[in-house]
Chains A and B, each alone.
Chain A
Amino acid sequence: MVVILHGLGCRYMATSVISSGRPEDDASTTKAEQISKAMKAYLERARAHESFMEKEIHDYEIGKRHLAKIMGADPDNFTQEDIDQAIQYLLPSNLFDRKSRPLMKHPTKIIPQKIVAQFGADGRPFDPLFYTGFPRYYAQIHDLGMVFENLKKIETEMMVKKMQPEKELDLGGSHWINKQSVETMLAEELSPGQYNQLINLLDRIAEHPYAYKFHDVIFKFRTELAAQTSRLEIPELKVSEAGRLYQEATGGRKTAVAKVTVWDNGTGKVDINGKNLLDYFPYILDREQIMFPLQFTKKLGLVDFEAVITGGGHSSQAGALRLALANALRSFVERGMVEKMRLAGLLTRDPRMRERKKYGQEGARRKYT
């Protein structure tokens, strides 16, 4: 008799029982008597979960058919996509967090599938680490501990031979995977302390001079950081009917939105909502802000631009125009300069917005009294 168990959290529950009979069926046998009380309670929990899941799936199937009828669709060919659309149509929600919006999914998708623990005929688990509650986690810790022991052995051998490590382990451009990824990898829910323990151990391994010999083991726990430069897609310059090169771009800051057209081979002519720069932005702070991308790319006085700005105040309008200009100027300069613009913070949209007023307070932060 083999019972396949699925765990939920650190507790294990059965979703299927593959055996000639259930534990109570052979209650008269001596083997069944060997099963401890804890084991019995455990199997009971497992069976309760199994029946719970069966009921949930049954309810889901009926609910799906009802939903199909409401929507006037064929109940037999009602897919998950149709369900999502129907839910969105019937129960519209504007809640910010997607997780708090209503949903209807197959129960096995909502209740996560966990690892399978296997038991022998005597009711004892095969895995010696089963009763730790985190068998896979501790197995992994054990394996990594062995890696560290091996590293120490290698180091001593090399010292005896008076040899130096051939190369260094290159960890640049990658970082340790997060707790969630470790949990999916091990199919166990870990505490923050357990995650830290694992990362500390990995850190010690990675710092070792001979860590490069265990490159694959270490990189199982690392993810590549995406290079920021390659993310930037620079649009090609456009050609007007008159044969002049130009580029269009938009930018925003707070509630201000700026649309700009930058013309090549210009003399520094500026048109902002039908006015020139000095009339539209009387404050020098704003003008300096607008000139920043032009001065940075050495295009001051060499290009013309027309801009349409809406929303916001004078400072945020200048900020929006700065971002729009920087975005457009990317097409006029070489790749290295674009990277410099990114480092100077010209290509990032400032996400800061007006902070909301709180009740019981005079403003966002200021209190009455």
Chain B
Amino acid sequence: MFRLQSVRHSRYSVDYLDPTLLKEELDKPLEKDDPRRFQPVKAAANEHTTSCTYDPYVAKFIRMMMKRGQKEIARRCIDRLEKYHKASTEEERNAIELDPMKVFHEAIENCKPLLITQRTRRGGITYTVPVPCSASYQLFRSMKWLVEACREKEGGERWFWEKLSTELLAASQNQGKGVRKKQELHRLCEANRAYAHYRW
């Protein structure tokens, strides 16, 4: 009977629970048989706070933008972005949205696909089948498209954060590359609607 130290898996044992970070959740009294009473809690991640500056979507977006673990650089991009938004929107007096966080959330929301395509083999022929998309994959896809759109090379040299700001602004108004990708995918799903029954 050997107790081997797992190398590829979590350092936490299975008993450990994820930390609770939402203020409303924390203020609620614990129920009598709540597992949090009896089980230990994992340490909060380094970007976690309960302050007003913390937003789980922004934290996820930064993680997706990050290259080679350079979280600080990715973060600075986002910080600059917020400043950039404020400047550009002040110039346009008729701008509807002034809050960069709202712009960001709207952009994410607008890029979320409703349907995605999956490939299935039936009788030697591969069909492209449209299937509904789960909430977590919607979030992932929309963020990925936004990041990919900003990574694309353009004619003139532009900083990533410059491209990101224009991309987010465009996406919040249902324009831009990310939204176009979503629309293309929806069109593909629409074209293959005849195969929808292959889902089962």
Contact = CB atoms under 8 A, between A and B. Distances in A.
A151 B26 CA distance: 40
Given A172-B32, A172-B33, A345 B50 contact: no
A318 B48 CA distance: 13
A343 B5 contact: no
Interface stretch (A233-241, A265-273, A290-298, A327-335): A290-298
Q: How large is the interface on B (under 10, 10 to 19, 20 to 34, 35 or more residues)?
A: 20 to 34
B24 to A, nearest CB: 12
A348 B41 contact: yes
A355 B7 contact: yes
B42 A348 contact: yes
Contacts of B163: none
B11 A344 contact: no
A319 B79 CA distance: 22
A7 B32 CA distance: 43
A285 B69 CA distance: 14
A296 B54 CA distance: 13
B2 A285 contact: no
Contact of B48 (A173, A345, A348): A345
B39 interface: yes
Interface in A339-368: 340, 342-346, 348-353, 355-356
Interface in A114-159: none
Main secondary structure of the interface of B (DSSP, over half): loop
A225 B35 CA distance: 10
A228 B20 contact: no
A292 B51 contact: yes
A228 B40 contact: yes
Nearest to B45: A345
Contacts of A340: 26
Contact of B39 (A171, A228, A285, A323): A228
Contact of A285 (B3, B36, B47, B50): B47
Given A344-B19, A351-B12, A315 B46 contact: yes
Contacts of A283: 72
Interface in B8-57: 11-12, 18-21, 26, 32-33, 36-44, 46-51, 53
A343 B44 contact: no
A229 interface: yes
Contacts of A96: 5
Main secondary structure of the interface of A (DSSP, over half): loop
Contact of B46 (A225, A318, A349): A318
A288 B37 CA distance: 28
Q: How large is the interface on A (under 10, 10 to 19, 20 to 34, 35 or more residues)?
A: 35 or more
B53 A228 contact: no
A227 interface: yes
B71 interface: yes
B75 interface: yes
A353 B48 contact: no
Contact of A345 (B5, B19, B37, B75): B19
A8 to B, nearest CB: 15
For B1, B20, B33, B38, the residue with the greatest tally of chain A CB atoms inside 10 Å of its CB is B38
A97 B37 contact: no
A27 interface: no
A58 B50 CA distance: 66
A291 B33 contact: no
A226 B49 contact: no
A284 interface: yes
Nearest to B29: A336
Interface in A198-219: none
Interface string A309-324: 0000001001100010
Contacts of B21: 344-345
A135 B85 CA distance: 76
Contacts of B36: 228, 343
B185 to A, nearest CB: 31
A229 B36 CA distance: 10
Given A285-B75, A355-B7, A173 B38 contact: yes
Contact of A350 (B3, B43, B53): B43
Contacts of A228: 36-41
A228 B26 CA distance: 16
Contacts of A284: 75, 79
Contacts of B32: 172-173
A348 B20 contact: no
Interface of A: 96-97, 99, 171-173, 225-229, 283-285, 288-289, 291-292, 295-296, 315, 318-319, 323, 340, 342-346, 348-353, 355-356
- Name the 3 nearest CB pairs between A and B, nearest first: A345-B19, A172-B33, A345-B44
